[in-house]
Amino acid sequence: KTEEAFEDNVRVSIVEESIECLRRNDLGGYTIPAHNLYPFQWNWDSAIVAAGWAVFDEARAWEELDTLFSGQWEDGMVPSIVFHKPSTTYFPGPEIWGLPGNPSRSTGITQPPVAAISARFLFEHTENVKLAEKKMTDLFPKILASHRWWYKARDPENKGVVAILHPWESGMDNSPSWDAAMQFPIDNLPPYERKDLHHVNASMRPTKDTYDHYLTLLYRFKAENFYDSEKLYWVSPFRMTDLCTNSILFRANRDLRWLAIKLGKDDVVKEIDEWLDRGFEGFRQLWDEKSGLYYCQDQLTGKLADAPTSAAFLPLFAGVASKDQAAKLVENLRRWLDNVPFGVPSTDPKDPRFEPLRYWRGPVWIIVNWMICNGLLHYGYDDIAQRIYDDSVALTSNAGLKEYFDPKTGEGCGGELFSWTAAMCLAWLD
């Protein structure tokens, strides 16, 4: 009994802290991921954070999505970052994406399309159906346009799966999945100063060489008529089929279909069904029967990236894996979890590329845990889903609302009072 009461208290305080965190990171209609480190509106962060707001302020949750889509490009792309207000604490900021003296309103690349998933979550959990219907009527065509953009700009060859052209687009910036593909020569770059290293220890962040490659891509894309979507696919020296983006897009298509039916927009269901059918075929290429895992694929060489990362489990979240594939994935996942006290590490802890503190190469990310858990429950693996849920509660209760966590010690790392971690505490872990 005492133990239960104690647990309840811990949860109450984390709920209060999470609400406080979102309020603190609210810059007026949008939520920044964390002060100083990430001072603008990030695409997939905001879509996830909207689910957190929904728990205590529904109108504010919808506003988060509205503000994100205020940055949508004419061609349908939702940029990875929208620069609503200036800030000098982040690099590369508006003047790098644009020009000195003529800053850009956003980046010229995108991020995983979580918006439809979030909109469905808001719609399903609404206590104000009128507001939800009104908001969705306005948002639906915008989200649809963004999915159409993905297929037009990032799958012009009809593979059924879309390409990312920059590691930043995957959200898993320095994942070992990109190591081989990031070997292209770097260009002569203007001198630059990394600001992330003022906020976070260098041992936890991508290396200088990785940043040189990130910036080479940025400047090359800018040189294509300021990020012309029709051109980038054909000229980028980095073009990958990313598991995270494609799993989220597949799931987002299913949720968009659900919303379309709810809103009586039957005319678009056929189009979404085609995306799902083609996506189902496209995913086949990413499966490796021998290891029982999915891998990202380099579209320029056709090779699968051999890195075993947590993104391998996201096809469960998409619902695109067969029962047999799910069983093999779960076998792998159990082994990973046997090797670390806190899951899910972003790389297989037995792989030589595993680095428990370095960003997307080892640490646990609560948003990824949520997606994996959601998928596991769908496939009926309740026990392992419970383990991941319990780990997520333990990590956030003990270490607080950090950006990510060390799977070996449970220590919180990266940014403090991090919005998507707070949102997950409200919308999932509570």
Interacting residues toward ligand 2M8 by CB under 6 A: 33, 38, 42, 44-45, 80, 168, 171, 173
Question: In angstroms, what is the minimal distance from the CB of 263 to ligand 2M8?
Answer: 29
Catalytic residue among 169, 242, 403, 406: 403
Question: In angstroms, what is the minimal distance from the CB of 90 to ligand 2M8?
Answer: 7
Whether 193 is a known active-site residue: answer no
Q: Are strands 163-164 and 240-241 parallel, antiparallel or unpaired?
A: antiparallel
Question: In angstroms, what is the minimal distance from the CB of 248 to ligand 2M8?
Answer: 12
Rank residues 44 and 178 by Cβ distance to ligand 2M8 and give the closer one: 44
Whether 403 is a known active-site residue: answer yes
263 contacts 190 by C-beta, under 8 angstroms:
no
Question: In angstroms, what is the minimal distance from the CB of 290 to ligand 2M8?
Answer: 30
Count of beta carbons in the 10 Å neighbourhood of residue 180: 13
Catalytic residue among 26, 58, 173, 355: 173
Rank residues 199 and 262 by Cβ distance to ligand 2M8 and give the closer one: 199
Question: In angstroms, what is the minimal distance from the CB of 398 to ligand 2M8?
Answer: 21
Rank residues 26 and 58 by Cβ distance to ligand 2M8 and give the closer one: 26
Question: In angstroms, what is the minimal distance from the CB of 271 to ligand 2M8?
Answer: 28
Rank residues 26 and 45 by Cβ distance to ligand 2M8 and give the closer one: 45
Question: In angstroms, what is the minimal distance from the CB of 51 to ligand 2M8?
Answer: 15
Q: Tokens 């012309």 appear where?
A: 228
Rank residues 155 and 173 by Cβ distance to ligand 2M8 and give the closer one: 173
Q: Tell me the residue nearest to ligand 2M8 as measured from the CB.
A: 171
Q: Are strands 287-288 and 41-42 parallel, antiparallel or unpaired?
A: unpaired
Give the active site residues.
173, 403
